[in-house]
Amino acid sequence: NAGVIQTPRHKVTGKGQEATLWCEPISGHSAVFWYRQTIVQGLEFLTYFRNQAPIDDSGMPKERFSAQMPNQSHSTLKIQSTQPQDSAVYLCASTISAEQFFGPGTRLTVL
């Protein structure tokens, strides 16, 4: 069991460019969560899927951010027209119950 896999581990984009972050949940886990972590805001919930269906996206910024889970083996978080304030570590977690298993995160830096 490789755990939750997130790629890339680090991504640097220019202001206005698009960034796509990938998450591969643990096989058999039915729910996938996305979080954003910064020094200032701490750990923020963004969105989650259960059985590939979007359940709660209340934490997603309404503009520029979108998430998908096209199949049970991966989810993507896309940020269009990235801004410096989007710089953060984006964490993905998967679960089959309440206990969440986290990936190592993708560190996004927007110049």
* Nearest alpha-carbon partner for 75 in 110, 30, 10: 30
8 in Cβ contact with 14 (< 8 Å): no
In the complex, least distance from residue 20 CB atom to another protein, rounded to whole angstroms: 19
Q: Which of 5, 61 has the CB closer to another protein?
A: 5
Q: Which of 9, 78 has the CB closer to another protein?
A: 9
Which residues of the shown chain bind another protein in the complex (CB under 8 A)? 4, 31, 33, 42-43, 45, 48, 50, 55-56, 91, 93, 95, 97-105
Tokens 């984006």 label which residue? Answer: 90
